[in-house]
Amino acid sequence: MNLYKPVLTVLLTGLTGALLHAQSATSIGSPNQAIRLTVQNSPSGEVTYQVRYKNKPVIEPSGVGIKLSRPQVTLNRFTITAIDSANVDDTWKPVWGEEIQIRNQYNELIVSLQDKGGSGIGMRLHVKVFNDGVGFRYEFPKQAKLDHFVVADELSQFRFASDHRTFWMPGDYDSNEYLYNFTKLSEVDATAALAKEKDIALQSPIGPNAVQTPLLAKTADGLYISLYEAAVLNYPVMALQLDKKTLTLTSQLTPDAVGNKAYLQTPAQTPWRTILVSDKATDLLASRMILNLNEPSTIADPSWIKPQKFVGMWWEMHVGKANWPLAGGKHGANTANVKKYIDFAAKYGFDGVLVEGWNVGWEDWFGNWKEEVFDFVTPYPDYNIDSLTTYAQRKGVRLIMHHETSGSVTNYERRMDAAFQYMVKEGINTVKTGYVGRIIPRGEHHDGQWMVNHFQRVAEKAAQYKIMVDSHESIHPTGLHRTYPNWMASEAARGSEFNNAPTLGITPEHTTVLPFTRLLGGPMDFTPGLFRMRLNQFDSTRTTRVRTTLAKQLALYVTLYSPLQMAADLPENYEKHLDAFQFIRDVPVDWAQTNVLAAEPGDYVLIARRDKQSPNWYVGAITDEVSRDLPLNLSFLEPGKTYEATIYRDAPTADWDKNPEAYVIEKKTVTAKTKLNLHLANGGGCAIQFVRK
What is the per-residue pLDDT for 446? Answer: 98
Distance CA(199)–CA(203), nearest Å, equals: 10
Which residues does 230 contact at the CB level (< 8 Å), separation at least 6?
Answer: 135, 271, 272, 274, 289, 290, 293, 294, 478, 479, 521
pLDDT confidence band for 251 (50 / 70 / 90):
very high
Give the pLDDT mean for 92-115: 98
pLDDT confidence band for 689 (50 / 70 / 90):
very high
Q: What percent of the chain has pLDDT over 90?
A: 96
Number of C-beta neighbours around residue 541 at 10 A: 6
Q: State the average pLDDT for the chain.
A: 96
pLDDT confidence band for 24 (50 / 70 / 90):
confident
Q: Comparing 118 with 23, which gets the higher pLDDT?
A: 118
Q: 624-651: per-residue pLDDT in tens? A: 999 999 999 999 999 999 999 999 999 9
pLDDT confidence band for 3 (50 / 70 / 90):
very low
The residue from 108, 497, 509, 661 that is catalytic is: 497
Judged against a pLDDT cut of 50, whether residue 443 lies above it is answered with yes
Q: What percent of the chain has pLDDT over 70?
A: 97
What is the per-residue pLDDT for 190? Answer: 98
Active site residue 497: yes
CATH code of the region 308-590 = 3.20.20.70
The residue type of 434 is G
Judged against a pLDDT cut of 50, whether residue 492 lies above it is answered with yes
- CATH entry, 24-278, from 2.70.98.10, 3.40.1410.10, 3.50.50.60, 3.30.70.330: 2.70.98.10
Q: Comparing 302 with 6, which gets the higher pLDDT?
A: 302
Q: Which of 271, 273, 252, 267 is nearest to 67 (CA)?
A: 252
Distance CA(318)–CA(330), nearest Å, equals: 12
Peptide bond just before 325 cis, omega within 30 deg: no
On the 0-12 / 13-18 / 19+ scale of CB atoms within 10 A, 9 is middle
DSSP 8-state secondary structure symbol assigned to residue 534: B
What is the per-residue pLDDT for 5? Answer: 32
Judged against a pLDDT cut of 70, whether residue 123 lies above it is answered with yes
Question: How many helices (H) and strands (E) in the chain?
Answer: 13, 38
On the 0-12 / 13-18 / 19+ scale of CB atoms within 10 A, 458 is buried
Q: Which of 457, 574, 582, 477 is nearest to 525 (CA)?
A: 477
Domain ranges of the chain: 24-278, 308-590
Number of C-beta neighbours around residue 246 at 10 A: 12
Question: Is residue 222 within 8 Å of residue 279, measured between CB atoms?
Answer: yes
Peptide bond just before 601 cis, omega within 30 deg: no
Give the pLDDT mean for 567-578: 98
What is the per-residue pLDDT for 22? Answer: 41
What is the per-residue pLDDT for 467? Answer: 98
Q: Strand 72-75 to strand 66-70: parallel, antiparallel, or no bridges (unpaired)?
A: antiparallel
